[in-house]
Amino acid sequence: MMRFSGLKPPYEKVPPKWRPAYEAYIRTVEGQVAVVAAWVLLITVLFYQFTHELRLAHRPDLWLTELGFRTPVLLTALLTLLSHYTGKPMCQSRYLLRAMGVSVMVMILALFLIHYNGPSAATYQITNGIIISFFGVAILSVRGPKEWWLMFVLPLVIFVFAARMRGLTFTELLPYMFDPMVMMVIGIVLSAALRQLRAGEFIARQELRDQATTDLLTGLLNRRAMHQLLEQEHARAQRSGTTYSLVLGDLDHFKRVNDTYGHNVGDIVLQETARRVGSHMRAQDALCRWGGEEILMLLPETGPDGARHVAEKARLSLANEPMVAGGHDIHQTISLGVTSCRGSDDIESAIKRADDALYQAKKNGRNRTEVSTPSNSGHDPAPGQDASDATAC
Ligand SMILES: Nc1nc2c(ncn2[C@@H]2O[C@H](COP(=O)(O)OP(=O)(O)OP(=O)(O)O)[C@@H](O)[C@H]2O)c(=O)[nH]1
């Protein structure tokens, strides 16, 4: 069956890799909608309660009854504001929106029933209230259809039963409910359109973010994105006193691949390198294309032994199996420099140490891993220290 992508439910439109981020985004939207709705409800409901005498001077006996039906709305609005501004109690906005939606529906339909006295000014006044409420409640259903059942269908079913018990027939109710139902449908259509717009805007934003942080050829993070991650990890290491490691890798004699087989084959080798190396890393590790044929791994909470182990796995993933590119078997190897870093260190000198270790690996014959620690960086020794004391694996 043909499907129009524009009509897909938002969650289906969002690629699986972005769904956790989309869920977080929807929660933010729900939080914003909940706060605005809470203020609007608090102000309007209090306003209507305290103008009761002006509007309904002939029914002073209903002041308390009205307050009784307005109280749940006021309480949910207050709870929402309290939760938003103080963080306590911790409530998910999704449930607060539901509570506000249902309490508004119950309030407005109950007010209709207690004021209904055949066609009268008071009945029509309440009908206007129902029109506005139905529309507003539709807007509260940020997540869509699931919320409609709770916010509309359930209160309306209870309302019809209550109306029947009060002796009202369907034909009597219809003239008062017709406009509100139309507004409900308009509200639902509008909130569905808003959801589609939000999902489209979210996808476009994620795509832009991906383009800005991803290397087009290999699909790895680019240098800019890696710098941001490095700063985050470095700050975390400073706070918690943990160690993280860097592994800088450089393909061996890659110029020969380009010169012998052409740039297209060279590109395939770079892509396959990214795939192989990436497949040996944990979810919390990051891998970027640091330069032309250079990669950089960031390994959080990993010391030199762990990092050397990861580097060796990456090295062997290339050395153990030739790559097939453009119909050729290419025996591509990689040299790697490893260093570890604590928060007391600084990022630039850690990168320099990894670079020094890589230089040693090249110098010592390529297709190997060298480790450099803060006290034994290869190129820049402390006075009296041997410049070439990086440790070979
Ligand atoms: N195909 C392809 N080649 C690239 C890309 N970026 C850089 N290169 C090539 O990578 C090669 C790097 O060469 P060199 O810096 O001399 O290093 P090498 O030949 O790998 O030698 P060693 O690093 O000393 O082992 C150059 O030929 C660049 O043109 C790219 O995106 N695609």
230 and 205 assigned to the same domain: no
In this structure, is residue 62 part of a structural domain? yes
For a pocket test of ligand 1, which of 260, 272, 293, 363 has the largest count of ligand atoms closer than 8 A to its C-beta?
293
ipTM of the complex: 0.91
What total of structural domains would you count in the chain?
2
In this structure, is residue 301 part of a structural domain? yes
Q: Name the residue type at position 119.
A: P
The arithmetic mean of pLDDT across residues 12-16, rounded, is: 85
Distance between CA atoms of residues 14 and 2, nearest Å: 19
Chosen domain end from 187, 211, 235:
211
In this structure, is residue 52 part of a structural domain? yes
The pLDDT score that the predictor gives to residue 3 is 43
In this structure, is residue 218 part of a structural domain? no
pTM above 0.80, yes or no: no
Give yes or no for residue 4 having a pLDDT over 50. Answer: no
CA of 354 to the centre of ligand 1 (A): 19
193 and 334 assigned to the same domain: no
CA of 328 to the centre of ligand 1 (A): 18
In this structure, is residue 351 part of a structural domain? yes
Chosen domain end from 155, 178, 211:
211
302 and 382 assigned to the same domain: yes
Structure tokens at 235: 């700050």
pLDDT tens column, 269-291: 999 999 999 998 998 999 999 99
Q: Name the residue type at position 195.
A: R
Contact 293, 326 (CB under 8 A): no
In this structure, is residue 116 part of a structural domain? yes
In this structure, is residue 243 part of a structural domain? yes
Q: State whether the beta carbon of 362 lies less than 6 angstroms from ligand 1.
A: yes
13 and 141 assigned to the same domain: yes
Give yes or no for residue 391 having a pLDDT over 50. Answer: no
275 and 377 assigned to the same domain: yes
Dihedral pair phi/psi, residue 323, rounded to 5° = -95, 145
The pLDDT score that the predictor gives to residue 375 is 62
The pLDDT score that the predictor gives to residue 8 is 56
Q: State whether the beta carbon of 252 lies less than 6 angstroms from ligand 1.
A: yes
Q: Which residue has the least CA distance to atom 28 on ligand 1?
A: 255
Distance between CA atoms of residues 223 and 238, nearest Å: 22
Q: State whether the beta carbon of 370 lies less than 6 angstroms from ligand 1.
A: no
341 and 372 assigned to the same domain: yes
Taking the mean position of all CA atoms in its chain, how far away is CA 251?
35
113 and 174 assigned to the same domain: yes
Q: State whether the beta carbon of 249 lies less than 6 angstroms from ligand 1.
A: no
162 and 237 assigned to the same domain: no
pLDDT tens column, 67-76: 999 999 999 9
144 and 245 assigned to the same domain: no
In this structure, is residue 217 part of a structural domain? no
258 and 292 assigned to the same domain: yes
Q: Cα 165–168–173 angle (5° rounding)?
A: 130
145 and 241 assigned to the same domain: no
The pLDDT score that the predictor gives to residue 387 is 34
Chosen domain end from 211, 241, 259:
211
101 and 200 assigned to the same domain: yes
Q: Which residue has the least CA distance to atom 29 on ligand 1?
A: 255
CATH number at residue 273: 3.30.70.270
Computed over every residue of the chain, the mean pLDDT equals 88
Domain that includes residue 344, residue range? 223-392
